[in-house]
Amino acid sequence: MAHEAAAAQHYPTSSLYVVATPIGNLADMSLRALYVLQLADTIACEDTRHSQALLQHYGLYGKKLLALHQHNEEQAAQDLILRLKAGERVAYISDAGTPAISDPGARLVRAVRQAGHRCVPLPGASSITTLMSAAGAVSESVQGAAQAGFAFCGFLPSKSQERQTAIARMAEQSGAQMWLESPHRIVASSQDLQKLGIRQLTVGRELTKQHEEIVTIPAQDLHSWLQANPQRQRGEYTLLLHPVNAKGDFAQNQKLAAQETLKETLILLLPHMPLKSAVALAGKLHPDITRNDLYQIGLELKKTLSTEQPTPQSLP
C-alpha cells in the first residue's frame, strides 16, 4: 500500500529526508514515510536499537542504521554529508515525533543545507501540534475574531530557580505558550506553575497512547490534579498555557500575584510582631489589597507559622 500511495513522486538522490515517526501510536506512521524509509540507502537515527525495533514493526529489515544524537550531531552530520555526496538517499528519524524541533536534527539539517544538498521534510506526528489541535486555545482580536497561534518554549528548565524564572516570564506574556516536561519533574514543575493562578492550562499526557489524557484546568490546580491519581505522574507531558483573553482573568491573576507578594511580606513580619501590627504595616505596603483580605491572609499565615515557630521573638 505504501508503494502504491507514494511511489509516483520523485525522490531525488543526494538528499536528506527528515521523517516524522509516531509519538506513541504506531498506526500514525504515514505511507509516504514508510516508502521513504524503505527506499533510503542509510537511516540516521537518535537511538539505533529503538529505531531498529520500530522499523521491524513495519517489516523493514536489514536497513543501514547510523547513530545521530545530541552528543555527536555535528560530527555525524559530516559523515552523512559524505554519503550524500556519494549519491545516497539518507533519512533521519528521532525516537518519536518530528525531528529538529525538541529532538536532534536541526544541526544536521543546517549542515546539509550549507553543503548544498536538499532537505526533504516528511510531516507527521508531533506532540506539539497534537495538543494544540485539541486544546481550543483561542485569543480574541480587537474586532472579536478568533485567532490561533502559540510560542513553543521547549522543555522547562530542570533547575528549580531557573524554572521559576522561566515561569515568571510566562506570566508576563499574554499569548499562548507550549512546553514539554518529563515525568520525573512534572510534580516539582506543577508547584511552580501555581503562580500562574487561574490562567487556563491544557495538559496532554501520553498523547496518542492507550492511556492518553487531555484536560484543561487552571494552572494553579495542576499540582492537586496530579496528586489526585498517582498514575497521572507517569508518562510524557505536553503543556499549553492559554492566552489571556478577558480583562477579568487578567485582573484576577493580578490580584493573586499581589496576594503572593503580601504573603512574603507577612512571613517576614509575623515572627516579630502581633498579627494586628503586622497586618497594619503590610496594608501600607500593599494598599491595593482589601482590609478583610489582609487580615484573613495574615490569620492563615499566623496559624501556619505558629506550628513552625512556637516561640516568636519581638523586634528589639
128-243 classified as CATH 3.30.950.10: yes
Phi, psi for residue 180 in degrees, rounded to 5: -110, 155
DSSP for 77-102 reads HHHHHHHHHTT-EEEEE-SSB-TTSS
Three-state DSSP class for residue 259: helix
Q: Are 114 and 11 in contact (CB under 8 A)?
A: no
Domains 2-125 and 128-243 share a fold: no
Question: So what's the pLDDT on residue 294?
Answer: 84
Helices (H), the chain: 2-6, 31-39, 48-57, 73-85, 106-114, 127-135, 160-172, 186-193, 222-227, 247-269, 275-285, 291-308
The answer to whether 105 and 142 are in contact (CB under 8 A) is: no
Q: What is the pTM of this model?
A: 0.76
Determine how many CB atoms are found less than 10 A away from the CB of residue 290: 11
Per-residue pLDDT of the chain (316 residues; tens, 9 = 90+): 788 889 899 999 999 999 999 999 999 999 999 999 999 999 999 999 999 999 999 999 999 999 999 999 999 999 999 999 999 999 999 999 999 998 999 999 999 999 999 999 999 999 999 999 999 988 765 445 555 689 999 999 999 999 999 999 999 888 999 999 999 999 999 999 999 999 999 999 999 999 999 999 999 999 999 999 999 999 999 999 999 864 445 555 666 677 778 888 888 888 888 888 888 888 888 888 888 888 888 888 887 777 655 444 444 4
Q: Among residues 156, 95, 89, which one has the least CA distance to residue 125?
A: 95
Candidates 177, 222, 173, 227; CA nearest to 197 is 222
Annotated domain spans of the chain: 2-125, 128-243, 248-308
CATH number for the domain formed by residue range(s) 2-125: 3.40.1010.10
Residue tagged 555525524 (cell numbers): 76
